[in-house]
Structures are given as structure tokens and as C-alpha cells.
Amino acid sequence: MSKPQILLARAIFPEVIERLSAHFDVETNQADDIWSKQIFIERLKEKVGVLTTGGERIDAEVLRACPKVRICANMAVGYNNFDLEAMTTAGVLGTNAPDVLTETTADFGFALLMATARRVTESEHFLRAGQWTKWSYDLFAGAEVHGSTLGIIGMGRIGQGIARRGAHGFGMNVIYHNRSRLTPQAEADCKAKYVSKEELLRTADHVVLVVPYSPASHHTIGAAELALMKPSACLINIARGGIVDDKALAEALKNKRIAAAGLDVFEGEPVVTPELLKVPNVVLTPHIASATIPTRRAMAMLAADNLIAFLSGQAALTPLNPFAVR
Ligand code: GLV
């Protein structure tokens, strides 16, 4: 009997391909080509499932052109590349990859916060350029991290991981804003206090963004919000491009409206707003918050296990729209 056909949209760990090949006839993209939408549709047409990485958009056009598809398994916790409503209407299941990346991503959020506050990349560029000729009392003086006020917007699993690091590791005063308040127990675990978005922006020394992207969270931070922040504040975005108005941020950094920013995600990535590349007080990384090999492998395996479970008639492990199942 022939096996069901699936597509892996991007290059992936060989052991994940091996695992999937025991169950499916697998078309891979180990050359890691970036396919146009048309090519993606052509490859997907005869498949019942696809492993996506967050860069492949699944919308009504794709679903119409590929009616055999039953599941799209995202190797990412965020799933704003899925039009979940269109998928539900088409009876197509979406899955994401939560939990396995929480601590690694929180580590990176904290790394970016430290690098930004203590001007790590800016000072390294200075040194590499041969500009370090003498010590001086204020050379690359940065912002205090320990004991400062950490404001987290988006207090899901990753936000709570960052809060715990800040509160327990660095003695920070943690405040947060979220669509809903945490339970008293979760607030106590993170030593975090719920405040309005405005109070958070006005009082935090470091603002970390960890909200999922949706039309409602588009430009959560724009010129008006930047104007509320302390001139000494640092802004960290490890959420998604589009949560911050990158042009407004570049302007605020240029004018020293805020002290610095650390960005792992960008509007229109992998293209970066050119104005951001021109300002020195920003640390820029290419969407790598979950990038350790064990974590990326766990994310890929979870996506693979979702495909295997669902296409063999069992419940998917991390479904996004279970009611869609046909
Ligand atoms: C990465 O950005 C993810 O959503 O997993």
C-alpha cells in the first residue's frame, strides 16, 4: 500500500526526515530553497500534510489549490503565518510547537536584554575597529539590570520564564501587562505585579515584548508608546515583527527618546528597516531566540509527531483548531 504524501517546506534535521519517512512518502527541501507561493502550491497539491516553519503562509488561496491537505504542522510556537479561520473553514488542522522552546527562548530574551542594556555589540564593534586606545570612566556605560524594573508585555509561558529570571536571578522588580491577569499563584512564582500598559511603559527600565502577533497586537509599540517610556529605557522585541513600528523605533533611537533596543524580529524580515541599521544603540539578531540545536530538534520532532499522530487517526499533540478536523 502506498504511503500518504507529505511535504517538508524547508530543510530540516535528517533524523526528523527519517522518522517521518517510516510513515509517509516525504518530499523534502534539503536545498532550503525559498519557494514562491506558486511553487509551494505546486509542491503541496498532492500532499495530505505539510511541515511549515513559520515562513510559509497558509491561506484560503493555498487551501483552495491544495484540497487534499488535512494538516499543517508549524515548527514554531507563533502561527501568524496560518489563516486559522480559513483553515477551520476548509477543515484543515493547524498545530504549533509550544513548550519545548520556552526556557531557551526566555534565556535568549534575557541575553538580548543584557546585551542591550550593557551595550555589548556596540562596544565590540568599537574594539574590533581598533578604536580602543584608553580606559575612561564612562566608556560604554550602560543601564543597570539587577535591581531595575522589568516590564513584560505578554505574560504567556515565555514571558513568565523571563520574569522568573529577572525576579529570582537579578532581583528585578517585575511588572507585566497581559490580556488577562495571571493566577495569584503564577504571579507569586514570577514575583510579578499586574499593571496597565501605560503604567508599565512609564515606569519600566526595560520593556520586553512577548505577545503573539495578530491584527490587534500590530504596532503595540509605536511613536505614542515610545513617547511614554523613560529616556533611559531599553526595549526588547523577541515576539514578532509588526508588534513594534520599526520606523518609529529607529527615529526614537536616533533622537535618544529611549536609550537602546534589542530586536530579534522585524517588520518584513528578513529585510530590516534600513533606518535601524544606521543607529548604533540597537542590538540586532536574525530571529534566533529558539535557536539551540536541542530546542530546534525538539520543535521539529513535535511538528513531526503532530503529523504522525493526526494522519494515523489519533489526536494531534498541540492542535490549534481541533474543531476543524474532517
Ligand atoms: C519563533 O519565532 C516561534 O514562533 O517559534
- For residue 123, what is the domain's CATH number? 3.40.50.720
Rounded alpha-carbon distances, angstroms, from residue 73 to 22, 86, 97, 98: 17, 15, 8, 12
Domain residues for 237?
Answer: 102-284
Q: CA 275, CA 39: separation in Å to the nearest integer?
A: 33
Residue nearest to atom 4 of ligand 1 (CA): 78
Q: Kindly tell me if the per-residue pLDDT of 325 is higher than 70.
A: no
Task: Looking at the structure, tell me whether residues 78 and 167 fall in a common domain.
Answer: no
Ligand 1 centre distance from Cα of residue 319 (Å):
16
Q: Are residues 33 and 162 in the same domain?
A: no
Whole-angstrom distance, CA of residue 60 vs CA of residue 85:
9
Nearest residue (by CA) to ligand 1, atom 1, is: 76
| DSSP character at residue 215 | G
Q: Atom of ligand 1 at shortest distance to CA of 287?
A: 2
Using the mean position of ligand 1's atoms as its centre, give its distance from the Cα of residue 80 in Å. Answer: 10
Rounded mean pLDDT, 250-276: 98
Out of 88-92, 123-127, 233-237, 321-325, least confident range? 321-325
Residue 1's pLDDT band (cuts 50, 70, 90) = confident
> Rounded CA gap, 282 and 259, in Å?
9
CA 211/CA 158 separation, integer angstroms: 9
Distance of alpha carbon 304 from alpha carbon 108, whole angstroms: 25
- Same-domain pairing of 18 and 94: yes
- For a ligand 1 pocket test, name from 77, 107, 269, 295 the mutation site with the most ligand atoms within 8 angstroms of its C-beta: 77
**Ligand 1 atom at shortest distance from the alpha carbon of 101:** 5
Predicted confidence at residue 143, as pLDDT, reads 98
8 forms beta bridges with 51
Dihedral sign (CA 163, 76, 326, 310): negative
CA of 239 to the centre of ligand 1 (A): 8
| Burial grade of 23 (CB within 10 A; 0-12, 13-18, 19 or more) | middle
Strand ranges across the sheet with 149-153: 192-194, 173-177, 149-153, 206-209, 234-237, 260-263, 282-284
Q: Does one domain contain both 17 and 121?
A: no
Nearest atom within ligand 1 for CA of residue 78: 4
Say yes or no to pLDDT of 316 above 70: yes
Q: Is 290 in the pocket of ligand 1 (CB under 6 A)?
A: yes
Residue 169 has pLDDT above 80, yes or no: yes
Structure confidence at residue 323 (pLDDT): 79
CA–CA separation, 158 and 53 (whole Å): 19
Is it the case that residue 290 has pLDDT exceeding 80?
Answer: yes
The mean pLDDT value for 155-178 works out to 98
Given a contact cutoff of 8 angstroms between Cβ atoms, the answer to whether 110 and 162 are in contact is yes
In this predicted structure, the answer to whether residue 129 has a pLDDT above a threshold of 90 is yes
Our answer on whether the CB atom of 104 is closer than 6 Å to any ligand 1 atom is: no
What Cα–Cα distance (Å) separates residue 252 from each residue in 112, 221, 230, 239, 275?
19, 11, 11, 20, 11
* Residue owning the nearest CA to atom 3 of ligand 1: 76
**Sheet containing 71-74, strands listed edge to edge, beginning at the edge strand earlier in sequence:** 25-27, 5-8, 49-52, 71-74, 93-95
Ligand 1: centre distance to CA 76 (Å): 4
- Between CA 258 and CA 232 the distance in angstroms is 6
Q: Check whether residue 68 and residue 110 sit in a common domain.
A: no
Closest CA to 206 of 105, 276, 113, 122: 113
Do residues 117 and 253 share a domain? Answer: yes
Q: Give the distance from CA 83 to its chain's centroid.
A: 17
Same domain, residue pair 272 and 298: no
Q: What H or E segment, with its residue span, contains residue 253?
A: helix 246-254
Mean pLDDT for 152-160 is 98
Please state the rounded mean pLDDT for residues 170-182: 98
Question: What's the domain count of the chain?
Answer: 2
Assess contact for 166 and 174: CB atoms under 8 A: yes
Do 151 and 216 sit in the same domain of this protein?
A: yes
Q: Each residue of 49-59: pLDDT tens digit? A: 999 999 999 99
Q: 170 C-alpha vs ligand 1 centroid, how far in Å?
A: 26
The residues annotated with a catalytic role in the active site are: 240, 269, 287
Which residue of 103, 105, 237, 285 sits with most ligand 1 atoms within 8 Å of its CB, as the best mutation to test the pocket?
Answer: 105
Residue 153 predicted with pLDDT over 90: yes
Together in a domain, 126 and 275: yes
10 Å CB burial of residue 297 (0-12, 13-18, 19+) is: middle
pLDDT above 90 coverage of the chain, percent: 98
How many Å lie between the centroid of ligand 1 and the Cα of residue 77? Answer: 5
My answer on whether 28 and 52 are in the same domain is yes
pLDDT above 70 coverage of the chain, percent:
99
Q: Quick check: CB of 78 below 6 Å from ligand 1?
A: yes
Given a contact cutoff of 8 angstroms between Cβ atoms, the answer to whether 204 and 103 are in contact is no
3-state secondary structure of 271: coil
Q: Which pLDDT does position 326 carry in this prediction?
A: 59
126 and 15 housed in the same domain: no
Average pLDDT, the chain: 97
Do 255 and 306 have their domain in common? no
Mean per-residue pLDDT, 232-246: 98
pLDDT tens digits, one per residue of 58-84: 999 999 999 999 999 999 999 999 999
pLDDT value of position 98: 98
